[in-house]
A and B are shown apart, each in its own frame.
Chain A
């Protein structure tokens, strides 16, 4: 089990935060363009899901899996989007994303006095707390171990 990377987007599609743990392949484009591509894909998947769904959706899109990784999506009521890619076997990632939101994002990004809305998070404290939080979770078992 492993965690590959995390993207946090705000409601306008700005990449607030990116961090990677075990990423073996880069997409071959700049980080900015990759973020735009990712946001665009999520935006389309969301509308795809709403249209193809046979019933009324509430949370809508949750995750997708490919042969090598799975992507988990969590959106807060204020449209902050948390995107975490893990290996295919990871369990309860949605709950984990919810915890990242309430225990890390709110505590160390939003409550930071110099935090600005819709601006990338530069706080070192946020970075280290998030890193520690992901590393102690059962989803994260580094391939090196």
Chain B
């Protein structure tokens, strides 16, 4: 029973709530010899592995430390430039630490609004009449279940690929949303949900699901 995250998207496609839990930390530290057999690229203020994945260092991972000194962007904490160090032969062997970064809030907002057109196109390309949008999206590492209410709000849960019964969980979250967000006099529609009761009840629900399974909610 692992649930990675819960997202709520308003009917206009904006992310109004997200909750993330149990996202494992993926980090690899490895010692490299000269020349470095990875192609690194500096993009979006991060040094990203572009080619040459091996031994747990995957394409898309971000360089976080060199010889144990943390790096922010392309600069080490002691002020040196990462690429200067990597290109110098005398600095080797070099111990580099790579990690798969967690999504930032901006990325989450971006992804949530990206789901909206996918949902709509999936129903347009349907070979059968009167088809809904995407309900379940499966990948090798996770499963995303989406539930759209009559008013157009989308609830999404990201969980383990083998997890069953997510639709029941989504309906429970919808109940919590109507009880603790919509009935809150200070909550206005389409705006981000900042309600303490909603947060705590959702957290309880997810903890409960993790301990005893979805069938008991």
| Contact flag A68-B126 (CB < 8 Å), given A54-B4, A59-B139, A60-B139 | yes
Other-chain residue from A20, A48, A57 in contact with B111 (beta carbon distance below 8 A): A48
| Contact flag A44-B118 (CB < 8 Å), given A23-B127, A66-B132 | yes
Complex interface bits, A1-26 against B, C-beta within 8 A gives 1, otherwise 0: 00011000000000000001011110
Q: Is the CB of B137 within 8 A of A45?
A: yes
Q: Is the CB of B126 within 8 A of A56?
A: no
Q: Is A98 an interface residue (CB 8 A)?
A: no
| Contact flag A56-B60 (CB < 8 Å), given A49-B139, A51-B103, A64-B137 | yes
Give A49's nearest chain B residue, CB to CB.
B139
Q: With a CB–CB cut-off of 8 A, which chain B residues contact A34?
A: 125
Give B131's nearest chain A residue, CB to CB.
A68
Q: Is the CB of B26 within 8 A of A56?
A: yes
- B66-74, B140-148, B182-190, B191-199 - the one binding chain A: B140-148
Q: Is B207 an interface residue (CB 8 A)?
A: no
Interface size on B, residues (CB 8 A): 40
Other-chain residue from B103, B107, B122, B142 in contact with A71 (beta carbon distance below 8 A): B122
Complex formed: what's the CA distance from A41 to B116 in Å?
11
Q: Is B96 an interface residue (CB 8 A)?
A: no
Other-chain residue from A4, A40, A58, A59 in contact with B127 (beta carbon distance below 8 A): A4
Q: Is the CB of A49 within 8 A of B137?
A: yes
Interface of chain A: mostly helix, strand, loop or mixed:
mixed
Give B58's nearest chain A residue, CB to CB.
A56
Q: Is the CB of A25 within 8 A of B137?
A: no
Output the least CB separation between A84 and chain B (Å).
Answer: 11
Q: With a CB–CB cut-off of 8 A, which chain A residues contact B114?
A: 44, 48
Q: Is B169 an interface residue (CB 8 A)?
A: no
Q: Is B150 an interface residue (CB 8 A)?
A: no
Give B119's nearest chain A residue, CB to CB.
A66
Complex formed: what's the CA distance from A66 to B132 in Å?
6
Q: Is the CB of A61 within 8 A of B58?
A: no
Ordered by A's residue number, 13 sampled pairs between the chains whose C-beta atoms are within 8 Å are A24-B128, A25-B127, A41-B125, A51-B103, A54-B5, A55-B142, A56-B100, A56-B141, A57-B139, A64-B138, A65-B135, A66-B134, A69-B131
Binding site for B on A (CB under 8 A): 4-5, 20, 22-25, 27, 34, 37-38, 40-41, 44-45, 48-69, 71, 85
